[in-house]
Structure 1
Amino acid sequence: MMGKTALINAIAPTNRGLLATEPQKQAILAAIANLEDLNPTPRPVEASNLLNGNWQLLYTTSKALLNLDRLPFCKLGQIYQCIRVETTSVYNIAEIYGLPYLEGLVSVAAKFEPVSGRRVQVKFNRSIVGLQRLIGYISPENFIHQIESGKKFSGIDVPINSENQQGWLDITYIDDDLRIGRGNEGSVFVLTRT
């Protein structure tokens, strides 16, 4: 599809938004809006077969995520959002790289609740921050399995008061391999299925 190609080409040189100039940001937002108009899935939240799975972040305007790259001696690695429709769970995982043997991980777990055909309410309930080696991080799938089995991790592993830490996300485009979302803080997210 031409709209997807235009969006992917606009995103490619920006390192998920970290390197995006103001003109690039405007071009990307225009490409996103064009693609949203062509959304083949009118009620994305109800398309559990499309929504379920592991997604890798291609682009975002989220300051919270992009600022992880500004930590001293750290570079932002891959960012994943893993959705488990059966348990209404979502796992956000950011890999952090820097000094050898000190690769880190920042993750939050949440529950989501559909509130319309394209909006979900998200309530964050657990935060895990630590060194990948100490946590035993191998892959998002393995990590999620450990979380779901009730494992307590080394590092910072704390519950979050979901009444204070919540938001919503509109899924504005989804097909077999691309998803676009717009969050309550005005952030945009473009993800591809892994």
Structure 2
Amino acid sequence: MSRRFSVTSVHPKEKAVSVIKFSARALKIFSGQLAIEASYTITTKTRVGIKLESSTITPDQLMNIFQKNYDMLLAIFNPEGWLEITYVDESLRIGRDDKANIFVLEKTDPSQV
């Protein structure tokens, strides 16, 4: 199974959308994505509080498959809590969250994604 994760942040609205794309080549029905929209508030110079706003799984057939375990799936990818930026420059951002995850994000040209 392959996964691709991207974050698109919309600063003026203090919203972020995380998209997890996945596919299992042998099972074409398992190609799809989970999109999670969250709002954030700046709490300190290096930390933001994050609140889950909405989530969707596409295509609809995948939602039918995951519906019974949707809460468990959201628990894995739920961004709710806080995120602290520990390093940032023009091409790289490193942060950690309240769940002991460390994130290394590299800026890319959206036209090349």
The answer to whether the superposition gives a TM-score over 0.5 is yes
- 1:116 corresponds to 2:44: yes
Output one character per residue of 1:134-192: Cα deviation in whole Å (capped at 9) or x when no partner.
6xxxxxxxxxxxxxxxxxxx947xxx9xxxx7300001111111111100111101011
| Percent of residue pairs bearing the same amino acid type | 25
SS for the counterpart of 2:56 is strand
What's the CA shift for 1:96?
0.6
- Structure 1 segments, 4+ long, off by >3 Å, are none
Cα distance in 2 for partners of 1:103, 1:166 equals 26
- 2:98 maps to 184
Inter-CA distance 183–76: structure 2 relative to 1 (3 Å threshold): farther
Matched-pair contact (CA < 8 Å) for 1:77–1:97? yes
Output one character per residue of 1:53-103: Cα deviation in whole Å (capped at 9) or x when no partner.
xxxxxxxxxxxxxxxxxxxxxx23210111111110011111011123541
Q: 1:125 aligns with which of 53, 58, 66?
A: 53
Output one character per residue of 1:25-51: Cα deviation in whole Å (capped at 9) or x when no partner.
xxxxxxxxxxxxxxxxxxxxxxxxxxx
User: Greater strand share, 1 or 2?
Assistant: 2
- 1:96 maps to 22
* TM-score computed with the length of structure 1 as normaliser: 0.44
> Which consecutive residues of structure 1, in runs of 5 or more, have no partner in the other structure?
1-74, 135-153
> How many residues of Structure 1 are paired with residues of Structure 2 in the alignment?
94
From the CA coordinates, give the structure whose radius of gyration is larger. 1
